[in-house]
Structure 1
């Protein structure tokens, strides 16, 4: 297949996921209004200029994604990777869970867990029904639905946004050119279902990969998911990112994707401090998370309401938090900032 045809196929693939996400949001919104007709709230339409800007930013993201694959940051096959079997299997469950989600949001029940879920031993900020979902991040159902829900939220662009960490990750590892590829160690903090680790494996097929997460359910899902791919299985541990169970100066690189907006300010700083501690001198720490207010002023109204719409209790503070200052306070330097579509990236170096 020619590069032109492959690129066209990729663009069509991504747009189909985008349309799927839009269709789901439209149908679920209308269904909610039918079920809760007496409790409708007036939702302001998104201005056309914001929609056009978002589409332009999405197109730019997909172009960069293609270019990185073309120059060998990761194989082109990664561009078409999607867990279709899981998505078709679990999509009906998304709909089945929506009525409970809507009811929970309506009555502002933010810390509601079923009796079979053990909530002891977790930080209080973690015991939340993030996204109003049943049992927060502490159930197998949540772990099974997460990737599908994120794809719907971001219109199929979650993986392209995750992949934007791979180029700076590989560039940062160049300072360790005298180290065997098999001796390179990379940690993904709050690894969730393991999708970021799978992408890192595609870019660094010989490296030793590690992941931590607070949720046993998500780690079970990650182990199941990652065991299906070739190469050494990443070493996964249940751990609080504020107390990483690793030696000082152990990793050549540390990543964290879509975590920081779900942390209160003090925890953000502590996770950064821990990431600095376990990163080798000369190593790289990469944060991927939501854009902030200063990056997209035209989306201010959406960001203002996002924390209530999706119950992200720490998101609003995150949107104005100075992460560069936090990184520098921990000791990182030469901090590079990039923005792609709905995500922002902080690439920080630990002094050699």
Structure 2
């Protein structure tokens, strides 16, 4: 790590800005992880007392996790600090983040990927007008993360019943599938409140010690390497829309459409879209050589990914990030079919999600541990052969970045239908 930093950071302002920004980023989210762990441990010790049988069960579960080599953030908090101090876990996690950054940095350095638009440090110095530079904003995000960590660990340790406090009419089928009404990751309220949407970004970045954005940005690489500039891009299951801001920054002239089933997360995505336009819109359009001064706001559609209310063959590119591991098998097939339907012939589908069994064989034995964090369909996902889902498409590329895998597919033209693709 030090060798890379010494070699790269001495080259130019862009390298220094990238590494300064991302090392600060990992420092911040590592501090959040430590605080969240400490507060959840205090909560479990003194505020949430247990019977002796519950304690014994919890300790047994912790030993099982430790034997399996799972991440400490999924395990018993009581022995957390002792285990961290006596293991290589901290250096492994930090090295994992560093390697993701280095992969991302090389794409930036080689001019394929734009410098991350919201990096705190840019070539011309610190972005003082960015919300990240506001200590009040940073403290608010930390407070949300600590509160959510306490709640998640408490539900996980007590194996609370899964679900969200939400009901819907059942005779007409309802808007939300049954599998959707789950508090995935044991997060408070699942996808069903504005508070959940407000907490999500900082909480998940804390889990990954800051590397999530960089892992997601590799989704753009197949599109950028294709040499084409899509005029219309769809992101399905956009969540808070954070990844979508990087899509817009790299393709500012494209018409962007977001879909998500949660109206609360769509609202957050709209906020992020407006913020990107205010921070980068004019500069991004100028860099693209557009005659338009400002980009148009994105389109937002509340929709179940299994039944998109969109026309056939209507988008040049479709992105889908971190959705399929939360879908039952039938829903996976339905969503993949919809992604293929709405992309134009010759257009590209880019899929990013958790890595699977065989992608990193040294981690195969512990890969299933993530399912213990209330991921009911994860065990099935890690053994699903994904290309089989995307009928009518040719396999394009595969990229790996830490715990994230990206696959790209190109929809066959009508003239090639019925031909075998090897």
TM-score by length of 2: 0.73
Deviates more, 1:272-281 or 1:292-301: 292-301
1:290 match: 354
* Displacement after TM superposition at 1:2 (Å): 7.8
* Displacement after TM superposition at 1:12 (Å): 3.3
2:14 match: 6
Q: Give me the whole-angstrom Cα distance separating, in 2, the residues matched to 1:54 and 1:100.
A: 23
Change (3 A) 1:227 1:34: closer
Change (3 A) 1:66 1:98: closer
Asked if the contact 1:104–1:110 (Cα under 8 Å) also holds between the matched residues in 2, the reply is no
- Secondary structure of the residue that 1:227 maps to in structure 2? helix
Asked if the contact 2:371–2:379 (Cα under 8 Å) also holds between the matched residues in 1, the reply is yes
2:304 match: 240
Asked if the contact 1:50–1:298 (Cα under 8 Å) also holds between the matched residues in 2, the reply is no
1:62 match: 101
Q: Give me the whole-angstrom Cα distance separating, in 1, the residues matched to 2:253 and 2:274.
A: 15
- Secondary structure of the residue that 1:255 maps to in structure 2? strand
Change (3 A) 1:340 1:316: same
1:349 match: 410
Q: How many residues align structurally?
A: 341
Asked whether 1:92 is paired with 2:143, we answer yes
**Where does 1:125-204 land on structure 2 (aligned, <5 Å)?**
125-172=179-226, 174=228, 184-204=231-251
Asked whether 1:331 is paired with 2:392, we answer yes
**Where does 1:112-131 land on structure 2 (aligned, <5 Å)?**
112-113=164-165, 120-131=174-185
Change (3 A) 1:9 1:269: same
1:219 match: 266
**Where does 1:96-115 land on structure 2 (aligned, <5 Å)?**
96-105=147-156, 106-113=158-165
Q: Give me the whole-angstrom Cα distance separating, in 2, the residues matched to 1:171 and 1:245.
A: 30
Deviates more, 1:79-88 or 1:338-347: 79-88
1:206 match: 253
- Secondary structure of the residue that 1:206 maps to in structure 2? coil
Asked if the contact 2:396–2:408 (Cα under 8 Å) also holds between the matched residues in 1, the reply is yes
- Secondary structure of the residue that 2:201 maps to in structure 1? helix
Q: Give me the whole-angstrom Cα distance separating, in 2, the residues matched to 1:186 and 1:173.
A: 15
* Displacement after TM superposition at 1:142 (Å): 0.7
Asked if the contact 1:50–1:299 (Cα under 8 Å) also holds between the matched residues in 2, the reply is no
Change (3 A) 1:79 1:293: farther
* Displacement after TM superposition at 1:51 (Å): 6.8
Asked whether 1:268 is paired with 2:332, we answer yes
1:320 match: 383
* Displacement after TM superposition at 1:114 (Å): 6.2
Change (3 A) 1:215 1:9: same
Deviates more, 1:30-39 or 1:125-134: 30-39
Asked if the contact 1:213–1:239 (Cα under 8 Å) also holds between the matched residues in 2, the reply is yes
Which ranges of structure 1 fall in alignment gaps of 5 or more residues? none
Q: Larger Rg: 1 or 2?
A: 2
* Displacement after TM superposition at 1:194 (Å): 1.0
- Secondary structure of the residue that 2:111 maps to in structure 1? coil
**Where does 1:26-105 land on structure 2 (aligned, <5 Å)?**
26-37=34-45, 39=55, 40-41=58-59, 42-43=62-63, 44=66, 46=69, 56-78=95-117, 80=119, 84=132, 86-105=137-156
Asked if the contact 1:111–1:127 (Cα under 8 Å) also holds between the matched residues in 2, the reply is yes
User: What is the CA deviation profile of residues 280-331 of structure 1, one whole-angstrom value per residue up to 9, with x for unaligned ones?
Assistant: 11110000111112112222344221111x211111211111102222xx21
Change (3 A) 1:52 1:98: closer
TM-score by length of 1: 0.87
Q: Give me the whole-angstrom Cα distance separating, in 1, the residues matched to 2:385 and 2:210.
A: 28
Asked if the contact 1:219–1:238 (Cα under 8 Å) also holds between the matched residues in 2, the reply is yes
* Displacement after TM superposition at 1:96 (Å): 2.8
